[in-house]
Structures are given as structure tokens and as C-alpha cells.
Amino acid sequence: MTKFIDLTLNGISTGAIYAAVALALVLIWRATRILNFAQGAMLMVTTFIASGVITATGSYWLGFASALLAGLILGAVVERVLIRRVESGPPLNAVIVALGLYTLLVAIAGMIWGNTPRSFPSAFSIRGFKVGGTRLLFSPNDLFIVLVVIGVALALAVLFRGTSLGLQMRAAAFQPEIAQLLGVRVGRMFTLGWALAAMVGALAGVLVAPSVFLGPNNFDPILIIGFVAAVMGGLESPPGAVVGGLVLGLALSYVSGYEGSALVPLAALAILVLVLLVRPTGLFSATRERRV
Amino acid sequence: MSRLALSPRLRQITLLRSLGLVLGGGVVLWLLSDLLGAYDDLQLANGAYYFAVLAGLTMLVGLSGQISLGHGALMAVGAYTVALLIGNEHWALVPALVASAVVTALVGIPVGATASRLRGPYLAGATLAFAIGLPALADKFPATFGGENGLIINPPIPPTWLGASFPLERWEAWIACAGALIVLFVLYNLIHSGLGRTLRAVRDDEIAASLCGLRVGRTQTLAFIVSAGCAGLGGGLLAVVLQLADPGAFPLQLSLALLTGVVLGGLGSLAGAIWGAAVLVLLPSWTNDLAHSFSLSTNVSANLPLAIYGLVLIGAMLAWPSGIQGGVRALAHRVHSLRSRPAASSPTQ
């Protein structure tokens, strides 16, 4: 029973990370209809920046803030400099450019910081809470992760549903030309979408770095599962990304706890295929994509 | 299945053309393998099995309009089939390679049927999960698949009539090139057949195609099966050339590199698949040589090839949005129009 509780709690905290990564991918998909394969490398770079700031200043929170700021800037720059040129082209070209950017960023990080993974501090204690004499597999830091991700998801929901800016972003993504005619600065909305997404990604990077360590390729497994979570939830839907992340986090935690970690990729495949066979555009897709 | 039929005359021309291509390609490859040294022969073999996979993938992505991030896993199916049949069942090389294509095509049936229900990013996600999920089987059943270490295959022995000193690498190159030429022959005829037109019709407008009586789902599944067969043969050839089938040879990066190869080469064109295979084989070795020709710190020289690879991907996509083959075509068109302009403008003078 303790094992089940531990696996559940562990699933929730890893699921929150998957959800954050999935949110970043969903934001970019909604803004520009591009699968951002470079997301993993982008959040890796911002986490390295955070690590540098923490080492230099000794303050975790300064590093945390600098990662978010770096993410915001990096996302905007990537969209303006690279993605803008392939946005209107064939969709696979954008995928290849994103893969190229991923490779380039990984290589640059390896050149600057080396390929040996290093440790990364956590915001709060990683010793589990003590309940009735047993220590749970859920620490104050895990609680922090879950709360932050819930907070980000709520903030995004408020942004998209309750503000004029969010409405403009949705309009720009839905019908770029009509939105432009109505006075929405479509290009600026795309840049903002990328910047926001990269900031959410940067947040995920800082949150997960203490447990996976910080290295050029250390975030890849998280990104793959986050991608699966985004697809499972429906790429259109931020709530879908959160639910997809949590479901995958829990399911994979049980599989790895009871059946061994070797089965985790197979379990992810099985869950995704089951979901997609029932709902070919993900759990939370409201509208079917129209082909004109 | 209803298909757009072709006249018998046209079909004959296609067959003759493809035979000519295969014969010409065979002669060129034969001469080339004779000229090259052992290392370059091995590179030629690598390029040949990459071509087999890329040709099948470019048919799928370019003609049928489906994306697959899972072809690395399909290669693994072919490689393990060959390793198990040669190692455990002591099959001869050729039947084992045929079996690798057939078995992978069979695996492609359920995958393709699932894939035909999915579109765009959802298909990408499902095939990506397939690419990471399937190699995990090797870890789950170490008794059969050899776990992390994989299965070792005895090297193919060149026949005695080639002489005792015939290099193994050249024999491997011949085997892989023969496989690549067979794939070229099959796919050339398929692309120029009624099925090829059906595929293009389905890709361009699914609703219109189904209104014309074309079975969209079945056509896409068929394309996936053929593509899987090519990937299986490519994987089988890889196992023969490397004399090993292990999970480390088929990471997600391989699947992504394959997609990169077909887009970079030029989607939907067999010539593009040749460009793609050349890029996948030559770019890493060139950039490695380049990185080690400077005296750089280890961190920089270890990552420089990767950085160049990334830059090439970005630069090539920005410079040639329709791939290298598209760039070549545009160049040929320009040369052609330059040459024909004086003739066209002379009457006005």
C-alpha cells in the first residue's frame, strides 16, 4: 500500500513536469502550427543559464527568474530569426529546421559547458514528507513543482479566456488573415506565442533539472514523454496537455514501479495508441481540423 | 481496389526505363566499388542501405502524405529478423534478407492501419512513440534478442570465384547495393503505376479522392506496408554490413535522421533519396575529419560535427525549401532557359 501511495505521488510530480513540457509544445502548436522539436534544447540552454546565475550569485531564485527571462527572449528570437522564414512553407520544413536548431543548441551547450552532466539545486528540500513515521516519496520540492505547474496552467487559462491579448493570440492562430484585417498584429502574436511557450519550457527545465541532472542531452526523455502527453491530450488544448501529462506521469510511474523501467517506452506507446484509436485527434480536441 | 489505370504501352516504357536505371546504376556502383578502398566501400554499403530506407520513406511522406518518425524501429525489425534467421536458424543470406522485408512489411500492416486513421502531428506522435517503444522489446526479452548487447552475425563470406583476396567490405557493398537497386526497381515502377497516381490523389485531396471512388485508408495502409518492407530490407542490410543487431543502433535519432534525409534530399523523389543517403553517410564523416583537422579543445572538437550538422539542416532548408533535388531541378531549369533564350530572342533582332 505504501508503495502504491509512493508511486502515485511520484507519478503526480513527474506528471506535472510532463504537463509543463506538453504545455510549451501546445502553446507553440496553437500559435504557429509547428511541432517544436527544438523545445528540449531550448529549455536545456535556459537551465544552463540559470545554473550559471545561481553559481555566480548564490541565489536560487535569481537563477529561477533568469531562466524564465532567458526563455522569453530565446523563444522570441528563435521565432523572429528562424521560424518566421519557414512558417508559411511546407510543414515538414519547419520540423527539419527545428531539428537543426535542436542539434545546433545541443552542440553549442556541449562546447561551452561540456558533455558531463552536473547537479542542479532544488528550490526546497528533496527529503520526503514524514507521515505517521514513514517517509513518503513526496518532498516539499515536489509539492512546489505541482503547485507551480497548476499555477502556470491557470494563468494561461486566464490569459487565453479572460484577456484581450489572449483573444488576439487565439484569433491570430485560428485565422491569421482575417485577424490581420481586424487589426491584430499577427506576426507579433506569433512571436509572443513562442516566447510564452519557451518561458513555460524554461520553467519545466529548472523544475526537473535536480532529478535528471543538467547536461546537453539529459532532458530528452522528458521531452519525448511530454510530446506524447501533448499529442494524447490534443495539441489544441492546454487543459488536455495538463491531463495528458498527469495521466502519463501516473501510468508510467505504476508501470516502472511494478513491472520495471524497461517497459516504460512500450507502455507510453500502448497508452498513446489506445487513446488515438478512440479519439484520433487527442482527448480534448473540440473541433475537427478542417481541410479546405 | 479501384485504381487509375495506365495504358499497357506506358507500363512497358516504365518497365524498360526502370530496368535501364537499375542496369546503369549497377554498372556505376560496380565500377565505383572497384575504385574505392575498404573504408569507402563500407561507406558505400552504408549509403546503399540508407537509400533503401529513404526511398521507401520518401514514397510514404512525399507521395502518400503521411509522416513517420518510426522508420528506425522498422529497420530494427528487419535487422533482428536477419540476425535471428542467420544466427539461430542458419538461413542463407538472400532468403534471410527477403524474410527481413516480408516480416517488416507484416509488422507494417497493423502500424499502417493505425497510421491511416491519424493525421499530421498525431501521426508524428504515434510513430515517435513506436520508435522509442519497439526497441524496448529487446531489453524485455534478453534471451531472444540479446538485451543491450544485441545479436552478432557472422560476416558474409565472398564466394570463392571472386578470388581469395576479395575484400569483405567490397562484398558487403555489393550486397547492400544489390538490395538498394531492387528497392529502386520496385519503387520506380510503383511510383509510375496507377497506385502511384492513387497515392498522389489521396495526398492532395482526401475528400475528392474518396469521392472518385478511391479507398483512402486502404491506399495509405498499402503505402505504409511497402515503405515498411523497404525499411525492413534496409535494416536487414544494415545488420549484415555491421554484423550486429543491437538496440543502440536504432535510437530515436535514427528515425529523425531518416526523416531529415528525405526532406533534405527532396520529398517524393527517388533521386532525392540518393541525395539524402549521401548526406546521412558523408556529412558526419566529413565534419568529423574537419573538426579533427584543427587543434581545438576537446569540448569544441567533440561537438563541432554536431554543430555543423545543425547548421547544414537549417541552412539547407532555408536555401532549398524543396530539398537538394528541388534545388538541382531549379538550377537545371535556369541553365536550360539561359541556353534557350538567345535562340528565342534572335528573330526579333
Q: Report whether pLDDT(B341) > 70.
A: no
Q: Is the pLDDT of residue B348 over 70?
A: no
Compare CB distances from A262 to B128, B140, B264 and report the shortest one's residue.
B140
Quote the DSSP letter at residue B148: G
Question: At residue A204, what is the residue type?
Answer: A
The residue of B119, B122, B205, B220 whose CB has the most chain A CBs within 10 angstroms, and thus the best one to mutate to test that interface, is B122
Does A281 reach chain B within 8 Å, measured CB to CB? yes
Question: What local confidence, expressed as pLDDT, does residue B301 receive?
Answer: 83
Measure Cα distances from A41 to A55, A70, A78, A145, B260 in Å: 21, 13, 12, 21, 18
For residue B93, give how far its alpha carbon lies from the nearest alpha carbon of chain A (Å).
31
| Residues of chain A found within 8 Å of residue B322, distances taken between Cβ atoms | 90
Q: Which candidate, A44, A51, A18, A38, places its Cα nearest to that of A217? A: A44
Residues in A closer than 8 angstroms to B264, CB to CB, are 96
pLDDT at site B229 = 96
Supply the DSSP string of B244-290, one letter for each residue.
EE-GGGS-HHHHHHHHHHHHHH-TT-HHHHHHHHHHHHHHHHHHHHH
d(CA B144, CA A231): 33
Mean pLDDT by 10 residues, chain A (292 residues): 87 93 91 89 95 93 95 95 86 90 94 90 84 81 92 90 89 87 90 93 93 90 92 88 93 90 88 89 69 44
Number of H helices, E strands in chain A: 12, 2
The whole-number pLDDT of residue B349 equals 41
Ramachandran quadrant class, A33 (left: phi over 0; alpha: psi -120 to 50; beta: rest): left
Which residues, 6 or more positions from B234, have their beta carbon under 8 angstroms from its beta carbon? B49, B50, B51, B52, B53, B56, B75, B78, B179, B183
- pLDDT (0 to 100) of residue B96: 94
Residues 6+ apart with CB under 8 A from B147: B138, B139
For residues B140 and A216, the model is more confident at A216
pLDDT at B182 over 50: yes
**Smallest CA–CA distance from A292 into chain B, residue:** B205
CB contact (8 A) between residue A103 and residue B299: no
- pLDDT for A287: 56
- Please judge whether A231 and B307 are an interchain contact, meaning their C-beta atoms are less than 8 angstroms apart: no
pLDDT at residue B5 tops 90: no
Residues in CB range of A274: below 8 A, 6 or more apart: none
Q: How far is the CA of B223 from the CAs of B111, B124, B194, in angstroms?
A: 11, 16, 13
Q: What angle do CA A36, A41, A46 make, to 5 degrees?
A: 115
> Which whole number is the average pLDDT over B87-103?
92
Kindly state the helix (H) or strand (E) to which residue A244 belongs, with its residue range.
helix A238-259
By Cβ distance, the residue of B267, B307, B322 closest to A107 is B307
Residues B216-225 pLDDT 10s:
889 999 999 9
Interface contact A86-B321, CB threshold 8 A: yes
Distance (Å, whole) CA A286 – CA A273:
19
The span from the CA of B324 to the CA of B267, in Å, is 9
Q: What is the pLDDT of residue B2?
A: 47
> Quick check: B208 pLDDT over 50?
yes
Predicted local distance difference test score (pLDDT) of residue A288: 54
pLDDT > 50? residue B1: no
Q: How many residues does chain B have?
A: 349
Give A214's DSSP letter.
B
Q: Residue A109's pLDDT is what?
A: 93
- pLDDT confidence of residue B347: 46
Is 50 exceeded by the pLDDT of residue B132?
Answer: yes
Q: If 0-12 CB within 10 Å is exposed, 13-18 middle and 19+ buried, where does residue A288 land?
A: exposed
Cα torsion angle, B202, B205, B210, B212, sign = negative
Query: What pLDDT, on a 0 to 100 scale, did the predictor assign at position B168?
Result: 87
Specify the DSSP element, H or E, that contains A289.
none
Nearest CB neighbour to A104, from listed B117, B136, B314:
B314
Q: How many residues does chain A have?
A: 292
Q: Which residue has the cell 480534448?
A: A284
For residue B345, is pLDDT > 60? no
Please, are residues A16 and A153 in contact by the beta-carbon 8 Å criterion?
no
Of A82, A104, A262, the CB nearest to B136: A262
Q: Which ipTM value was assigned to this complex?
A: 0.88
**Calpha distance B284→B248 (Å, rounded):** 18
To which H or E segment does residue B240 belong? helix B216-242
- Residue B191 CA, distance from chain mean position: 15
Determine the Cα–Cα distance for residues A21 and A43; give it in Å rounded to an integer: 9
- Answer yes or no: do A272 and B126 touch at CB < 8 A: yes
Torsion of CA A77, A214, B124, A87, to 10 degrees: 0
What are the Cα distances from residue B302, in Å, to B97, B248, B274, B307?
36, 20, 28, 10
Kindly give, in sequence order, each residue whose CB lies less than 8 Å from that of residue B193, ignoring residues fewer than 6 positions away: B3, B6, B11, B14
The chain A residue lying nearest B315, using CA atoms, is A97
Rounded Cα distance, B280 and B29, in Å: 18
pLDDT beyond 80 at B170: yes
A130: β partners: A135
- Which residues 184-243 in chain A show a CB within 8 A of chain B? 224, 227-228, 230-232, 235
Chain centroid, CA B285 distance in Å: 19
* Nearest beta carbon to residue A281 from set B122, B300, B317: B122
Task: Report the relative pairing of strands A134-135 and B151-152 from DSSP bridges.
Answer: unpaired
Contacts of A281 in chain B (CB under 8 A): 119, 122
Dihedral sign, Cα of residue A101, residue A52, residue A210, residue A235:
negative
Arithmetic mean of pLDDT, B235-239? 95
Q: How many CB atoms lie within 10 A of CB A20?
A: 30
CB < 8 Å from B in window 83-112 of A = 85-86, 89-93, 95-97, 99-108, 110-112
Q: Cβ contacts (< 8 Å) between B54 and chain A: which residues?
A: none
Mean pLDDT across chain B: 88
CB atoms within 10 A of CB A69: 16
pLDDT score, position B3: 53
In sequence order, what are the residues at sequence separation of 6 or more whose Cβ sits closer than 8 angstroms to the Cβ of residue B183?
B51, B52, B55, B56, B230, B233, B234
- Does A288 lie at the interface with B, CB-CB under 8 angstroms? no
Cα gap B168→A81, rounded to integer Å: 49
Using one digit for the tens of pLDDT, what is the confidence trace for B280-333?
999 988 988 888 888 778 888 888 888 999 999 999 999 988 889 988 998 998
A140 grid coordinates: 516539499
Residues 236-275 of A with CB under 8 A from B: 262-266, 268-270, 272-273
- Which residues in chain B are contacts of A82 at CB distance < 8 A? 314
